[in-house]
Structure 1
């Protein structure tokens, strides 16, 4: 039987997520930020000169893949249930 809260005590709000969810979310944000950092650069100081470095592997394939992995980590963090007990 649940204990009834006293009417004189203020209601304590509960967070939607637990500590483990926030830790995984922070990891996901760090991975997304790392992907955007890898995407940066490759431009030219002179707008009349084309720099082909903007189309290298790191900016076209690797960085977007890392950003998508970070978004996947974020979805996992939202769906994670830290209260679920492991079966033994």
Structure 2
């Protein structure tokens, strides 16, 4: 225990992250999931037929950038100081 506890006071654990951190982490996970959803699809039902839709802008440029932005949000959420007031 890092703080002096008295018998009537319930033990309150010290967490590394605060509520604000978890909210920003959830936003980052949602952005990463959106990026992976945008990457999906574009295949062909017949393996002998090539579908050039797999190389469109959304799957090659947009979706990976959204995933990287999501990872950046996650890094920010980890480094965010939960005790800092605005």
The answer to whether the superposition gives a TM-score over 0.5 is yes
| 1:45-75 deviation per Cα after TM superposition (whole angstroms, max 9, x unaligned) | 0000000000000000000000000000000
Q: Give the aligned partner of residue 63 of structure 2.
A: 63
Matching residue of 1:29:
29
Query: What is the root-mean-square deviation in Å for CA atoms of aligned residues?
Result: 1.8
Count of aligned residue pairs for this structure pair:
84
Give the structure 1 partner of residue 83 of structure 2: 83
Stretches of structure 1 that go unaligned for 5 or more consecutive residues are none
Residue 54 of structure 2 is aligned to residue 54 of structure 1: yes
Q: Give the TM-score normalised by structure 2.
A: 0.87
TM-score (norm 1): 0.85
Distance 1:73 1:11 in 2: 32
What are the ranges of 5 or more consecutive residues in structure 2 without an aligned counterpart?
Answer: none
